[in-house]
Structure 1
Amino acid sequence: MSLTTFIRSIRSAVQRDLLKMSSSELIAELERERDRRVLSIQSHVVHGYAGNKCSVFPLQLHGFEVDFINSVQFSNHAGYEHVKGQKLTEKELEELYEGLTLNNINNYTHVLTGYCGNVTFLQKIADVVKDLKKKNGNTTFVCDPVMGDNGRYYTPKELMPVYRDLIIPLADVLTPNAFELGELTGSPIETEEDCLRAVNELHAKGVKTVVVTSGVTGAQTNESLRCYASVKGSHVYRFTFPRLVGQFVGTGDTFTSLLVVWLDELNGDVSEAVKRVLASMQCLIRKTSSYAQLQVDTNSRAMCELRLIQSRKDLLWPPTCDQIQVEKIGQ
């Protein structure tokens, strides 16, 4: 399917959804209050989108309260020629969390973690999660084990054993890409069979829900990509969706934040939750890609930043997308 044909199909689907969605329904969704509060520990950029800059807005848009701690604070993401900023230390994280604890305001329904730049900081995150789960056994820990992609690390390799030995046993939901999945389980992930075997290993370590977001090379084509979702003791789902033009920073962070929303909204129905996340992501990436293509003559990284604000309707109300195929492939 050509990109033009796909765009037309998406536009038709959006138009159908708009006809179904009355203004009163949209207002009701925007006004709906949720008794949900997320502690999000991720990176932050002043300009553009990565880490918390991608995650906080979608969560707030859906009515989640979000307290966020920035593991790093940079001027911009690493795709630019120059990056300036600061890194939070494990001692500073401990002080921030101590302040929350002393005031008895460390009350969270969810903890969300993403990029972390050093081992001791990640170890301190484990301490924070343990304490929150001790206080409230129903707190859901959603972890994106950010280490690398496409066969290479862009964080210190020393993070991997900490994720494997400390973080994974605490996680309720884990969202690795194929490279990270392979590193965590000790075997490369090239085929669907590799992926499913490794997912079962994570379940055996206690992770209830695993979503493999991308990168299973043997299962994708030039036209389509796949991700996989599995719930321990239940079903495994394969999602096939169109490959769009461009690779953009922050898509994984946005994906995971929306997953928090829809798993909560749908009481853990991972099949429908991931489908809705993918529908929003397809719209976001398509809008970003179209804008970047129009601005290609400027040759600027600033033109490739996610069109997150411009996609707010699609983040809040995922359109019907017939191009996303969901298959139950195992148990």
Structure 2
Amino acid sequence: MTNAEVVAELERERDRRVLSIQSHVVHGYAGNKCSVFPLQLHGFEVDAINSVQFSNHAGYETVKGQKLTEKELEDLYEGLTANKINNYTHVLTGYCGNVTFLQKIADVVKDLKQKDPETKFVCDPVMGDNGRYYTPKELMPVYRDLIIPLADVLTPNAFELGELTGSPIETEEDCLKAVGELHAKGVKTIVVTSGVTGAQTQESLRCYASVQGSDCYRFTFPRLMGQFVGTGDVFASLLVVWLDELNGDISEAVKKVLSSLQCLIRKTSDYAQLQVDTNSRAMCELRLIQSRKELLWPPSCDKIHVEKVGK
């Protein structure tokens, strides 16, 4: 890009405002700390509600902090409503720690959609990964019965997809069948972000994206060294950006998201390896700020392969 094009992009006005209801950490990156910055970088206004406020993410030895209650969420939303400032083009949700809070999120989304049916609800149904829950199991039926019917875009990993549909997801065939079941419940766009073990190798990972009544895509990309907290939150926020920018073109949107994430993870992994002698979780925090150029302008990446797959 030329300097003039860079300046023009940075000065471009975007009439977009996101209500982001996710976790928050004081130090490091998870939840809203991962999602708000990429959205703002792309010119989206963001109103953030923190479902929890913790000192740091759960990868550390000690975690301290507070959890927002459903009554406190209700109070915040009532304040927005009373002042007639509950005007959103998008709602983005992530980690939620208890059933009643998640039920109240459903009430908020219903009210916003009744006010403006064009409001897009992007839901990351955070429950667990790698075969285990790290949230209460009681959240699952709330996601399945209340949240999913409201969602325009859903971004589960394979474990979460399996829990929501009642069948374990081990192969590509399992994945596509389960995606079809969620489409039947009304979710227009589904991106399975990770964890289809039978479709992965030691060198590569895969994710899948599908639009109801249209094509389904398989994305194959390099497996990078390390496991880092917050990558799913970055994924969801960038997906909001690129689906909006590309008018719902799921193939190109997910490719751009993956391109930015590959750069972010590689930069984080390289830094963590250089600091390996310190043996500290703090050295493994996402290099989010240091990757702002790649978050804003995803580089072309010939290592991300996109193919159509049958449903």
TM-score, with normalisation over the residues of structure 2?
A: 1.00
1:64 aligns with 2:44: yes
Which residue number in structure 2 is paired with residue 285 of structure 1? 265
Identity of aligned residues (%): 88
Which residue number in structure 2 is paired with residue 255 of structure 1? 235
CA distance in 1, matches of 2:48, 2:41: 15
Deviations 1:173-222 (A, max 9, x none): 00000000000000000000000000000000000000000000000000
Which residue number in structure 2 is paired with residue 307 of structure 1? 287
1:211 aligns with 2:207: no
CA distance in 1, matches of 2:224, 2:10: 30
- Of the three residues 192, 200, 217, the one matched with 1:237 is 217
CA distance in 2, matches of 1:169, 1:267: 22
1:33 aligns with 2:2: no
CA distance in 1, matches of 2:209, 2:128: 20
Which residue number in structure 2 is paired with residue 133 of structure 1? 113
Shift of 1:27: 1.1
Which residue number in structure 1 is paired with residue 56 of structure 2? 76
CA distance in 1, matches of 2:143, 2:20: 17
Residues 84-103 of structure 1 aligned to structure 2 (within 5 Å): 84-103=64-83
- SS of the aligned residue for 1:43 comes to strand
Code of the residue aligned with 2:64 in structure 1: it is: K
Code of the residue aligned with 1:216 in structure 2: it is: V
CA distance in 2, matches of 1:98, 1:330: 45
Code of the residue aligned with 1:290 in structure 2: it is: D
- Of the three residues 129, 135, 152, the one matched with 1:155 is 135
Code of the residue aligned with 1:269 in structure 2: it is: D
Which residue number in structure 1 is paired with residue 156 of structure 2? 176
Residues 180-199 of structure 1 aligned to structure 2 (within 5 Å): 180-199=160-179
- SS of the aligned residue for 1:160 comes to helix
The total of aligned residue pairs comes to 311
Shift of 1:330: 2.4
Which residue number in structure 1 is paired with residue 208 of structure 2? 228
CA distance in 1, matches of 2:95, 2:13: 29
1:121 aligns with 2:104: no
- SS of the aligned residue for 1:327 comes to strand
Code of the residue aligned with 1:170 in structure 2: it is: L
Which residue number in structure 2 is paired with residue 326 of structure 1? 306
RMSD across aligned C-alpha pairs, in angstroms? 0.4
- SS of the aligned residue for 2:292 comes to helix
CA distance in 1, matches of 2:204, 2:179: 22
1:274 aligns with 2:279: no
CA distance in 2, matches of 1:25, 1:317: 12
Which residue number in structure 2 is paired with residue 167 of structure 1? 147
Code of the residue aligned with 1:98 in structure 2: it is: E
Deviations 1:136-171 (A, max 9, x none): 000000000000000000000000000000000000
Deviations 1:258-283 (A, max 9, x none): 00000000000000000000000000
Structure 2 residues without counterparts, runs of 5 or longer: none
TM-score, with normalisation over the residues of structure 1?
A: 0.94
CA distance in 1, matches of 2:12, 2:289: 20
- SS of the aligned residue for 2:233 comes to helix
Code of the residue aligned with 2:92 in structure 1: it is: L
